[in-house]
Chain A
Amino acid sequence: MRKIMEGSHAVAEAVRLIRPGVISAYPITPQTHIVERLAEMVADGDLDADYITVESEFSALSACLGASAAGSRVYSATTSQGLAFMFEVLFNVAGMRQPVVMSIVNRALGAPLSIWNDHQDSVSCRDSGWFQLYAEDAQESMDLHFLAYRVAEDHDVLLPGFVCFDGFILSHTYEPVDMPTQEEIDAYLPPFVPVNVLDAKNPISMGMYATPDYYTEFRYDIDRAMDRAKDLLVTAGRELGESIGRDYSGLVEEYRLEDADTAFVAMGSLCGTVKDAIDEMRDSGIKAGLLKIRSYRPFPRAEIAKALSGVSRVAVLEKNVSLGSAMKGAVGPEVKDALWGSGIDVFSYVLGLGGRDVRKKDIAAINALSIAGKGDMFYGLREELI
C-alpha cells in the first residue's frame, strides 16, 4: 500500500510491523515523532509492546539490554546527545551480543548545540560493535529496519545495529512510502529466538568480567560476527527484495559509475542531491558518478574497491569530521585504503555539518576541486567568520 508519510511515521510503521516486545526510549529532537507515534500505537492497541518511558537515553538502552537478555525483541531510537549519553552502554550491548536495533535520526553533536543534521553522532560510534546502515529516503529508512532485525537476530550474527537516517531532512519530510503487509514482514522476520536467555529454569551468568586470558577472544568473536553480518546483509537484503519488491542486497549502491571520471562517495539523504547533481553534470559533458555506502559497519572494502576500480578520482562527501585527522573526514581514509595501490586519488570533503544545506552546485564545485587536486578539507567555509 502506497501512502504519503512523514519519514518518522514510516519508521514507526516499520517498528509496528516488526512487533517488538519491549520499547524503551527517551525523547530528543528530531527523534520525537517516532516515539510519539509508537506511544499512540501502544495506547490504541495497535502495537502490543511494553513501552518503558525511561528517564534518560542511558537507561533507554540499558533497559533494552535487560529486556533482550530476558528474551524480548527490543527497539529504541535516539540521536546526537542521546546517542553520546548511551556510549558506554553501546559497547556493552555489543559485547553481550544482544541484537538490539536502534533508529539513529542523525544530528550534530554539541558544542555548539545544534539540533540539525549531520552524521557526527553515529560515525563517532564506529568502533562500538554495532552495524550501521544509512538510508537515503523515507522508503529506505523504513525498509532497512526489517533488514536490520533480520541480520541482528540471526544466530550467526547476534549483534546490535543502527538504522541511520537524516534528522529533519528525512525524519520530518513527507514522501510516498510503500507499506509492506504484516504477513510479508511476519514471513520475512520470524519471532526472536534468543540463544542465551535469563531463565530461572536454566540459570546462566551473563556479563561476567574477563581477565587478559579471555578478553581478546571476546573482541575477536565480535569482529568475526561483523564479517558474517556482511555476508548476511547481502543475502537477507536480497530476500527482502523478493518479499517486498525492493532489493537491498548491496552494501553499496552504484549510480552512473560505469564510465565516470569522478566518483562521489556519500551516505544518507545527501545521495539524492548528488544523483541530481550528477545528472546535470552529465548533461553538460562531465562524467561523474556516485557510490552510496549503505553499510558503514561492516565496512564494504572489497565492494568499494570493485565499484571504484575504473574511476580517475574519488571525492568522499563527509557529514562528519574526525578532528585533527589528516583527511578531516572519517570515511575517506577507509575508502583510500580500499583503493590502495590503484593510483586513484581519494579526497575527503567535510560538508553539511550542523544542518548546513548541500546544494547541487556544491557537488559541482567539489568535482572541480577534486580535478584540481584539492581536497581533505572543510568545504564551503564562510570565510568572513574565520
Chain B
Amino acid sequence: MVDKSLELFDCGHRACGGCGPALAARLIMKGAGANTIVVASTGCMEVFSTPYPETAWKTPWIHSLFQNAAAVASGVEASLKKQGRDEKVVAICGDGATFDIGMLCISGAFERGHDITYICYDNEAYMNTGIQRSGATPYDASTTTSPAGRNSLGNSRPKKDLPRILAAHGAPYVATASVSYPNDLMQKVERAVNTPGPCYIQIHTPCSTGWGFEGSKTIEMGKLAIQTGLWVNFEMVDGEVVKAKKVVRKPVEEYLKVQKRFRHLFRPQPNTEEIAKIQAIADKNAERYGIDIKQKPQE
C-alpha cells in the first residue's frame, strides 16, 4: 500500500512555480518508499533539487552524467545484489536524457534485465537548457530549436514511442502516468518497484515555462492531454496493454489553444489542416488503446 503521508522529496527546492516534474518527484517517492536509492540524470530535476550543499532528497540519491543513469543504476543494483541488500533502485530522468542521449545505456540495462525501475519525467523538450526539442516533443510544438516560422510549423516529427520500445526489450512492466492523476501515478510506481526486472514508467509532467501556460494550470493541462487523447495513461504487462484510462474525448484544440507552444496553429486564424493532423494522432491513440467511452445517444 502506498503511504501517501510519506514525504521523501522535500520542500525548499528551486523549481519554477507549478513545476510538473517537482510534483512528479514527490509522488514517485511516495510510491517507491523510503527503502529506495534514486539515480538521477542531469536535467531540470537534478538542478533544482541538489545545488551543493543543499538537497531535497531524503533517500540516497546519486547523479553522474546526462546520459548514464541506466548504467549507473545497473551498477548500483549489481552491487546491492552482491551485498545481499534489498533497497529498490529507481532512476528518474528527463525526456532528453531518456528518449535521446541515454538510449544506449537504457537499452543495455533493459536487455540485461537489471532489477531497476526507470522513470522518465516527460516534459516534452530540453527544458533545463532552454526548451529545445527532444525525441519526446510532440508534433508541431514550437521549441527554441524547432521554432514556428514562415517556413515552419514547429516540431516536424511525432513523439517517439518509447514505452513500446522498452516493452520490446522484454520489460515485465511498462506504464505511462500523469501528475494530474496522482493516485494512479503512485500505484504504478509501487507496482514497478515491486516487479522484478527492468520496469519503465513515463510520466507526463506539464512544464509551465516550456509550454507557455500559467503555473496554476499544471494539473488542468495534464488532464486536458488525457481528455483529448494526446496522452494515454496505460499499463503493459509482458508487452501487452492490460489497462488504459478511458475518457469522453474532447477535441484536441482544447489542449492546443491554451499553450504558447501551439499558438502558431491558431494565428492569424486556426490552421485547420494542421490541427486535423494532430486530431488524427489523438484518434489513432484512442483506437490503439481503446480509450473512448461510448456515449449513449441523446434522446
Residues of A that sit less than 8 Å from B by CB:
21-22, 24, 49-50, 52-56, 58-59, 62-72, 74, 88-89, 92, 96, 198-200, 203-211, 214
Interface residues of B in 55-81 (CB under 8 A from A): 55, 57-65, 67-68, 70-81
Chain A residue numbers with a CB within 8 Å of B75 are 22, 24, 52, 62-70, 74
Known: A58-B71, A67-B75, A207-B63. 15 other contacts (CB 8 A): A54-B74, A58-B68, A59-B74, A59-B109, A62-B65, A65-B68, A66-B72, A66-B73, A66-B78, A69-B76, A70-B79, A70-B80, A198-B76, A205-B55, A208-B51
Q: B71: which of A22, A62, A214 is its contact (CB, 8 Å)?
A: A62
A70 CA to B85 CA, complexed, in Å = 10
CB <8 Å contact, B104 and A59: yes
B171 at the binding interface (Cβ < 8 Å) = no
CB <8 Å contact, B107 and A62: no
B105 at the binding interface (Cβ < 8 Å) = yes
B50 at the binding interface (Cβ < 8 Å) = yes
CB <8 Å contact, B60 and A199: yes
CB <8 Å contact, A96 and B64: yes
Could you tell me the distance in whole angstroms from the C-beta of B184 to the nearest C-beta in chain A? 26
A24 CA to B55 CA, complexed, in Å = 30
Could you tell me the distance in whole angstroms from the C-beta of A209 to the nearest C-beta in chain B? 6
CB <8 Å contact, A207 and B78: no
A67 CA to B40 CA, complexed, in Å = 15
Known A-B contacts A66-B62, A66-B72; the reply to A54 vs B52 at CB < 8 A is no
Chain B residue numbers with a CB within 8 Å of A56 are 104-105, 108
Known A-B contacts A62-B71, A62-B72, A72-B82; the reply to A207 vs B62 at CB < 8 A is yes
Q: Which of A24, A62, A203 has the most CB of B within 10 A?
A: A62
Nearest first, the 4 closest Cβ-Cβ pairs linking A and B are: A66-B75, A55-B108, A63-B75, A62-B71
Chain A residue numbers with a CB within 8 Å of B47 are 209
Known A-B contacts A56-B104, A66-B72; the reply to A92 vs B78 at CB < 8 A is no
A133 CA to B109 CA, complexed, in Å = 32
Q: A70: which of B46, B70, B76 is its contact (CB, 8 Å)?
A: B76
Which chain B residue shows the least CB distance to A20? B82
Chain B residue numbers with a CB within 8 Å of A206 are 60-63
Chain A residue numbers with a CB within 8 Å of B65 are 62, 88-89, 92
Q: A63: which of B63, B78, B83 is its contact (CB, 8 Å)?
A: B78
Q: Which of A55, A66, A71, A204 has the most CB of B within 10 A?
A: A66
Q: B108: which of A54, A67, A88, A207 is its contact (CB, 8 Å)?
A: A54
A293 CA to B218 CA, complexed, in Å = 61
Task: Spot the interface stretch: B30-38, B205-213, B221-229.
Answer: B30-38
CB <8 Å contact, B112 and A200: no
A200 CA to B36 CA, complexed, in Å = 6
Which chain A residue shows the least CB distance to B39? A66
CB <8 Å contact, A59 and B82: no
Could you tell me the distance in whole angstroms from the C-beta of B166 to the nearest C-beta in chain A? 14
CB <8 Å contact, A67 and B78: yes
Could you tell me the distance in whole angstroms from the C-beta of B285 to the nearest C-beta in chain A? 31
A69 CA to B39 CA, complexed, in Å = 11
Q: List 15 A-B contacts (CB under 8 A).
A: A52-B78, A55-B105, A55-B107, A58-B105, A63-B75, A66-B75, A66-B77, A67-B79, A70-B75, A89-B68, A203-B57, A204-B61, A206-B62, A207-B64, A208-B51
